[in-house]
Structure 1
Amino acid sequence: MSSHRKPRSSPFNGRAVRTVLLAAGAAGVATAVPAHAATGPARSAAVVSDGVYANANRLHHTQARDSFTIRQFDEVDATSVRNQARAVSMGCSVDDHCRSVALSFQIITVAGDAHHLKAVNVGNAANTYCDGCQTLAGAYQFVVSTPHPLTLDAGARRRLADVHRRLDALTRSTLPATELRERVDALAGEVSGVLQAAVAKTPKTSGASKASGGTEKPGVTLHRRLDGWPGH
């Protein structure tokens, strides 16, 4: 199942580009809003939230969902981003076990030497009266910071789309949770490699940074949270 939600437009310089293909639906919102100071011109802020939730139980023994989101912003003064994956298995047993998988990949690119970033990444799994169940939640948040707005070229987008297809396949697979964790970690490593290669092509400093003697370098930060039980 595929789900696409167009982010709300803004007259400010925040640009949100979302690419979302879900194994079974997840929602997110992106907004760019002005933050007025006591004096001076309006300042822009970007607020982003993405996530996926899977719940397996006696009526639905298997539920597997994933999301893969790319959001790109021009120069903004402040950015608040959140990524969450939650998986729950409830009320099953060793002889009648459940499997719940929730995986969320979020890629954020922000530009500017002086922006303020708040990043939250949450992955949690719960087995409730569910002996022998397999429950896995994985949240992977990639934050790309560059002085100038980053443009992912066609080659980078093709490679990311290929990772996304393989993530979908892994999410729907019947691999044991322990092996699934390893395979998903490997995909996250590929995403980091694609982003690092894209960042390497960008200027290391902006004009303003050079004028002030700044030395900030572009970079990629991965926030990873995995939680769950492999089952028996």
Structure 2
Amino acid sequence: MGSHRKPRASSGPFNGRAVRTVLLAAGAAGVATAVPAHAATGPARAAIVSDNVFTNANRLHHTQAKDSFTVRQFGNVRAASVRNQANAVSMGCSVDDKCRSVALSFQIVTIAGDVHRLKAVNVSDAANKYCDGCQTLAGAYQFVVSTPNPLKLDAGARRQLDSVQHRLDALTRSGLPATELQTKVDALAGEVNGILQNAVAKAPKGHERPDVTLHRRLDGWPRH
């Protein structure tokens, strides 16, 4: 079977582990790039953050599965650039010697103030390269929470998000077929959206209406 690679448009047996949870106030440093202009005590002029997960299954490593779950909270910003990416590749295996590659990335970013410039990029791509019968899944879920005043997720919301993270990790390491895994991961994304919507409803009010935007990209082989 030849090489297959097709980017997807946005829509509303595993092993290995790469789960990260990062809580950032403006001015803090994280695993991924985070460059606000000022410390948490003052308004930030810019926030830049990038998260990514990449897996590559092949004849030497038949099963590759990783997931990332990051929470990044910024205060007032004038400009923000946030990027979330998941890429999964299966290469060089066969029907009798199948590969399985799974990459899942959940990114939550909170920003406040009158953001004049916001660039949000969410990318997902799964590719089977000369890999008959292989299963490959890449999912990127990006949640951008925008509020008039700085939003700090309370202990209850954090506990709920921690629960989702643990279940995402279990799903990543599970033996579910890729199609069933997609459905269950989508359900977790729905839970996250609900948690954030509830947090926004309790956020300090202002002139601008608070908002939660979900960017979802999901790509996988085999196609159905």
> Given the superposition, is the C-alpha separation of residues 178 and 105 from structure 1 closer, same or farther in structure 2, using an over 3 Å criterion?
same
1:1-232 map, 5 Å: 14-16=26-28, 28-33=32-37, 44-205=45-206, 209=207, 216-230=208-222
| Inter-partner Cα distance in structure 2 for 1:105 and 1:55 | 19
> Given the superposition, is the C-alpha separation of residues 121 and 231 from structure 1 closer, same or farther in structure 2, using an over 3 Å criterion?
closer
Q: Determine if contact 2:26/2:44 at 8 Å carries over to the other structure.
A: no
Q: 1:42-89: per-residue Cα shift (whole Å, max 9, x none)?
A: 972111000100110000000000000000000011000000000000
Q: Determine if contact 1:132/1:231 at 8 Å carries over to the other structure.
A: no
| Inter-partner Cα distance in structure 1 for 2:21 and 2:71 | 12
> Given the superposition, is the C-alpha separation of residues 17 and 68 from structure 1 closer, same or farther in structure 2, using an over 3 Å criterion?
farther
In structure 2, list runs of 5 or more residues that go unmatched.
Answer: 1-16
Provide the residue aligned with 1:23 in structure 2: none
> Given the superposition, is the C-alpha separation of residues 139 and 4 from structure 1 closer, same or farther in structure 2, using an over 3 Å criterion?
closer
Which structure has more RCO (C-alpha within 8 Å, separation ≥ 6)?
A: 2
Query: What is the CA distance between 1:166 and its match in structure 2?
Result: 0.3
The amino acid that maps onto 1:174 is G
Secondary structure (helix, strand or coil) at the match of 1:30 reads coil
In structure 1, list runs of 5 or more residues that go unmatched.
Answer: 19-26, 35-41, 210-215
The amino acid that maps onto 1:228 is G
The amino acid that maps onto 1:225 is R
Secondary structure (helix, strand or coil) at the match of 1:124 reads strand
| Inter-partner Cα distance in structure 2 for 1:63 and 1:181 | 16
Aligned residues: 204
The amino acid that maps onto 1:165 is H
| Inter-partner Cα distance in structure 1 for 2:145 and 2:27 | 14
- How does the TM-score come out when normalised to structure 2? 0.84
- How does the TM-score come out when normalised to structure 1? 0.81
List structure 1 segments (4+ residues) > 4 angstroms apart after TM superposition: 1-7, 15-18
Q: Determine if contact 1:109/1:144 at 8 Å carries over to the other structure.
A: yes
Q: 1:80-137: per-residue Cα shift (whole Å, max 9, x none)?
A: 0000000000000111000000000000000002442100000100000001000000
> Given the superposition, is the C-alpha separation of residues 190 and 226 from structure 1 closer, same or farther in structure 2, using an over 3 Å criterion?
same
Secondary structure (helix, strand or coil) at the match of 2:72 reads strand
Identity across aligned pairs (percent)? 70
Secondary structure (helix, strand or coil) at the match of 1:184 reads helix
| Inter-partner Cα distance in structure 1 for 2:115 and 2:124 | 29
Q: Determine if contact 1:79/1:116 at 8 Å carries over to the other structure.
A: yes
Secondary structure (helix, strand or coil) at the match of 2:204 reads coil
> Given the superposition, is the C-alpha separation of residues 4 and 185 from structure 1 closer, same or farther in structure 2, using an over 3 Å criterion?
closer
Q: Determine if contact 2:27/2:35 at 8 Å carries over to the other structure.
A: no
Secondary structure (helix, strand or coil) at the match of 1:168 reads helix
> Given the superposition, is the C-alpha separation of residues 95 and 80 from structure 1 closer, same or farther in structure 2, using an over 3 Å criterion?
same
Structure index of larger Rg: 1
Q: What is the root-mean-square deviation in Å for CA atoms of aligned residues? A: 2.4
